[in-house]
Amino acid sequence: MNDRPSAPGRRTGEWRLLALAGLVSLLPYFLNRGLFSRLYWFGDEFDLIDQIDRLGFWRWVWLAFAENFVPLFKVLWGGRSFSSGDRTQ
């Protein structure tokens, strides 16, 4: 038995309906995930690695990439690339 009244204007099962709607909205992705992986892979990492090689890491970090400029991402991504040994010598 619940002694607390529900918040005004809110139904008690509303969060379940929202969770279900969120899962249903992801259904096309899960059914076609192979197509999505081909569609959204652009090969940008090859260009980024080439830029690091040509410009040097710290100059590359402050260079704008496409319409985005996020130096924290570039430091983390570039650092992971260096630490994994994925680069050519």
16-75: per-residue pLDDT in tens?
999 999 999 999 989 998 888 777 767 778 888 888 889 998 888 888 765 566 788 888
Cα–Cα dist 18/21, whole Å: 5
CA–CA distance, 65 with 55 (Å, rounded to integer): 13
Q: Is 87 helix (H, G, I), strand (E, B) or coil?
A: coil
Cβ-based neighbour number of residue 52 at 10 Å: 21
| pTM score, whole prediction | 0.44
The two structure tokens encoding residue 39: 């569609």
